[in-house]
Structure 1
Amino acid sequence: MANRRPTVADILALKGRRQLTMLRVETLEEAEAAERARVDMLSVPPALLTPEFRDAAPSAFTFPGLEYGDFITAEDYMRAAFKALRAGGDAVYCAASLATVRRMRDEGIPVCGHVGLIPSRATWTGGFKAVGKTALSALEIWRQTKALEDAGAFAAEIEVVPVDVARAISERTSMFMISMGAGTGCDAQYLFAQDVLGSNRGHYPRHAKVYRNFSAEYDRLQQERVAAFSEFVADVHAQNYPGPEHVVGIPRDELDRFLKELPGV
């Protein structure tokens, strides 16, 4: 996208025209790298939204995530949403109830909902696995999508849904559909930076693609830390640190004058 930070209207105008890119980033370094790589959209924890974040990623359309369970009432969500928007967010991710989505939309807050595999509600769909693999469950995702649209959400993440189901749904909704493991028939492709970078120490989901092996690099750096710290300890014990180049001297006459004023030892 252009260097100018897009608006919600700009994002919606791109629906069906081309695939956008989206990453979940959790550090300023990741945000800056995403900006330089021209990633279109970012998902971030609200705490990352600082002036330094916008210095790092001035043109990325950004969704701070209002994590399910961190807030209770619609008013709680709205307060958090307004705070996130004031801090530099462009829209909010929210997996709360339709009533909460509707309340936020009534106040003009751009909301991105969630359909398909919703991690906070995975127990209702059989755990962390694909959903929509039967006609009945696919229709339920369609109903979820239309309900979100009717509640006023402008976008929805659609997660781990068969590609043909996701495409059919995306073609029939005005919402901007963000695919996480739901194929190319949606409007954007979404991955976590830790999966892209290979820094995830746990399970990699099927839809993730690993482009680098940061875990190995972190392991190498940790070994270098241990080695450097061990050398420091050895230097101190052997009286090799500090050396003359690490300390400050005093002219001999000034030292003699100073010592003369001290009591004896």
Structure 2
Amino acid sequence: MKRIYDWDAKFSLRNYTAADLRAIKGKRKLTQTTANSIEEAAAAADAGIDLIMGNAQNTKAAREGAPNLFFTAAIALPDFPTEKDVLTAAFQAMKEGADSVYTARGPHIVEMLAREQIPVMCHLGLVPRRSGWNGGLRAIGRTADEAHSLWQAFRRMEDAGAFSVEAEVIPAPVMREISRRTSLVTMSLGSGSGGDVIYLFQNDICGEQPERPRHARAFGDIHSLQEKIRAERRSALGAFRDAVHNGEFPSEAETATIGDADLEEFLERIPVKGDT
């Protein structure tokens, strides 16, 4: 564990720092998943996941669940439209314990954040919220021209001061060759094993819904468990309703009692039904 002070001047321990991630680039594969609650962060830490990422507004929860994991706070594209909004959100997330911030915005936003010495993760390849510019949800870099344009985008983000990149749905050979040549720590999401970090959303890993993107694999089946819980909840509620209607609930075992003498004395002290 590395000893650090966070942006709130609090002494902390981290499994990795930004400097560590740069130093081990290309030497060892790491894992990253999402964490937006105390439980998700704690589960990632208990499972030995290296890095976690979540929405900036969930930084406190992620930090509580995983005090020592490197955490990237995502500044959501539509929620912080102005440069001031982005900078304010970034500073708040860093104050709450984030180790880096993510933005899907352009080099000008990355440069603004980097000037404040905030480690910045950018987003290249398929950016789903901007998929309309690419004709829909598809891999980016499948032609020589498009792959070269992607490489140039990586260079622009380097020049802007980005520290890492979420590289989404890029053909694996293109990702591998770019990762070898870029200084950015590459977080491969659906871009093959050539990235520095293999990244997958926690809900996909755990199988929390019946369908998932092509690049994702479910290593669990929480969806089936949730469906069982859903069915069990309705079954239990129906059984409760029937037991009440049938006079089976509450039973004597589930009801408080009073001694016969005390009950008789109580009844003597209150009016007979119908009396005024």
Alignment partner for residue 126 of structure 1, among 135, 155, 174? 135
**Which residue is equivalent to 1:116?**
125
Report what 2:5 is aligned to.
none
Match of residue 26 from structure 1: 36
Question: How many Å apart are 1:258 and its aligned residue?
Answer: 3.4
Query: Residue 250 of structure 2 is aligned with which of 242, 248, 257?
Result: 242
Cα contact 1:5–1:58 (8 A) shared by 2 = no
Within the candidate set 178, 182, 199, 1:169 is matched to 178
Distance 1:254 1:77 in 2: 69
When residues 112 and 237 of structure 1 are mapped into structure 2, their CA distance, relative to the original with a 3 A threshold, is: same
- Once the two structures are TM-superposed, the CA of residue 113 in structure 1 deviates from its matched residue by 0.2
Secondary structure, counterpart of 1:182 in structure 2: coil
Q: CA deviation at 1:15?
A: 0.6
**Taking structure 2 as the reference length, what is the TM-score of the superposition?**
0.89
Local SS of the residue matching 1:49 = helix
Match of residue 157, structure 2, among 148, 157, 182: 148
The SS at the match of 1:233 is helix
CA distance in 2, matches of 1:53, 1:251: 54
2:89 to 80, 87, 93: 80
Quick check: 23-32 or 224-233, which moved more?
23-32
Partner residue of 1:41 out of 46, 51, 67: 51
User: What is the deviation of 1:256?
Assistant: 3.5
Change (3 A) 1:86 1:255: farther
2:239 match: secondary structure:
helix
When the two structures are superposed, what TM-score results if normalisation uses the length of structure 1? 0.92
Distance 1:130 1:95 in 2: 17
Match of 2:16 in 1: 6
1:211 aligns with 2:219: yes
Q: Which residue identity lines up with residue 103 of structure 2 in the other structure?
A: C
Instruction: Report the Cα distance in structure 2 between the residues aligned to 1:31 and 1:141, rounded to whole angstroms.
Output: 32
In structure 2, the partner of 1:200 is 209
Deviation at 1:166, TM superposition (A): 0.9
Q: Percent identity?
A: 37
CA distance in 1, matches of 2:59, 2:259: 52
Letter in 1 for 2:198: Q
Q: Which moved more, 1:213-222 or 1:114-123?
A: 213-222
User: What is the distance in 2 between the residues matched to 1:226 and 1:200?
Assistant: 20
1:226 matched residue in structure 2: 234
Confirm or deny that 1:71 pairs with 2:42: no
**Could you tell me how far 1:98 is from its partner in structure 2?**
1.5
The match for 1:53 among 45, 53, 62 is 62
What's the offset of the Cα at 1:219? 1.3
Q: Distance between the aligned counterparts of 1:97 and 1:235, measured in 2?
A: 61
**1:184 correspondence with 2:193:** yes
Check whether the contact 1:32–1:56 (CA below 8 A) recurs between aligned residues. yes
Unaligned runs of 5+ in 2: 3-12
Count of aligned positions: 263
1:263/1:217 CA distance change after superposition, 3 Å: same
* Contact kept in structure 1, 2:188 and 2:199, CA below 8 Å: yes
Q: Which residue of 1 aligns with 2:268?
A: 260
Q: Distance in 1 between matches of 2:159 and 2:270?
A: 84
**Quick check: 1:198–1:212 contact (8 Å CA) kept in 2?**
yes
Deviations 1:198-256 (A, max 9, x none): 11244x22211111222222112211111111111111111211122323223344434
